[in-house]
Copies of this chain bind each other. A is one copy, B any other.
């Protein structure tokens, strides 16, 4: 359901293919929303049946044909209604690392510490990515679109990713220290 609105959100800026939608998601919303290429294609098909989008095939030579999707008024209305509707509850999270940690009292101390150090590296790297590359990409998009409100909101979501990763690194450091102190 939400994926439909994410796709409508992108198509509301400009018409594009499923392949391009995947690329845009990967560099902008992957921080808080993602989808596999195959799911994007099947979802676009359903959206077309609903009348939210239309598509046209662009024949190319030497390249596979492209199916370009365009948002329809019904899609724009659905998008706007969704945007205006508040999120009234907390979203349940799933964190595999935490689930394992919860049940890990039987795991050897060194094994556990190695797992946490591995994760620390990944989150540290991700924090750095949000501060540099992601920031640059978003600024570039904002310059093209030229809407300062878009720029502000896009950077707010990027900053969330940065804060989240930094918090996770701090928590991992604390947790590593706690485990190191055990017998």
Q: Which residues of A contact B (CB under 8 A)?
A: 2, 5-6, 9, 12, 28-34, 79-80, 82-84, 86-108, 111, 114-115, 118-119, 122-123, 126, 147-150, 152-154, 156-157, 159-160, 163-164, 167, 170-171, 174-175, 178-179, 182
Contact = CB atoms under 8 A, between A and B. Distances in A.
SS of A interface (majority): helix
Contacts of A2: 94, 96, 99
Contacts of A157: 98, 101-102
Contact of A103 (B9, B91, B96, B163): B9
Which one of A28, A111, A147, A156 has the greatest number of beta carbons of chain B within 10 Å?
A156
Instruction: Give 10 nearest A-B pairs by CB, closest first.
Output: A9-B103, A32-B98, A32-B95, A105-B149, A86-B115, A167-B167, A105-B150, A33-B99, A156-B175, A34-B92
Nearest to A103: B9
B83 A12 contact: no
A84 B111 contact: yes
A182 B148 CA distance: 9
A178 B152 contact: yes
A152 B91 contact: no
A102 B159 CA distance: 12
A7 to B, nearest CB: 11
9 contacts: A5-B100, A9-B99, A29-B98, A31-B93, A83-B100, A83-B103, A90-B123, A101-B157, A102-B153
B99 A91 contact: no
